[in-house]
Amino acid sequence: MTIHNLSLQNSILNTFISEIRAIDIQKDSMRFRRNIERIGEVLGYEMSKSLSYTSKSIETPLGTSVINLANNDIVLCSILRAGVPLHNGLLNYFDTAENAFISAYRHHKHNPESFEIIVEYLACPNLEGKTLILADPMLASGQSMVATFEALKPFGTPKEVHLISVIGAQQGVDFVKQNFDNKTHLWIAAIDETLNEKGYIVPGLGDAGDLAFGKKLQQ
């Protein structure tokens, strides 16, 4: 798997990452959602450089312009509910993409420090021969990303797979690297050192779903 860690280079992306991490700014859920969306736009732009392009002639009022345009058939899949703002950011740039949605969440069976990933809802178009963009803002253990990809397999084999995350733990990055083939690309805005005992990224930002949409009752 090829890892594209955008934090290794300075850009305006640093501003958006700093704001989603900052406790005082996190209190504004609308701003949090918009920053996740903007990060999705940046990640999508960087990812777009790896797509396939063909030349096309465009007629203007004054002549003809030849421009290279992406020709990939893209399916954008996000993991509910935290993935919605990230999905919207990517969709702003890949506006002709087909869309898939899946619910994957942590189910704590016996204690808050152990969990399994439960996949319940799934809506997906045909993936055969297409470019799959799998988006999940927080790449903690990596189990949700792998479980989601396994759930998508009955819908066809994509030509290529791109994973999009905002913040990941090194453990999660290593896990997806072990479970996806070497043709897969991971596009990520920041990689943090570790996970805490509850499986949250440290320093991370907390629960992205709660920050974007409000706290939920634990299952």
Instruction: Parse the chain into domains and list their residue ranges.
Output: 2-50+73-207
According to DSSP, residue 154 is labeled G
Q: Is the pTM of this model over 0.85?
A: yes
What is the rounded CA–CA span in Å between residue 17 and residue 205? 9
Location of structure tokens 């989601």: 148
45: left (phi over 0), alpha (psi -120 to 50) or beta: alpha
pLDDT one digit per residue (tens) for the chain, 219 residues: 999 999 999 999 999 999 999 999 999 999 999 999 999 999 999 999 999 999 999 999 999 999 999 999 999 999 988 899 999 999 999 999 999 999 876 544 555 555 556 777 899 999 999 999 999 999 999 988 999 999 999 999 999 999 999 999 999 999 999 999 999 999 999 999 999 988 899 999 999 999 999 987 765
The CATH class, in words, for 2-50+73-207 is alpha beta
Calpha distance 22→35 (Å, rounded)? 12
Written as six digits, the tokens of 180 are 């996806």
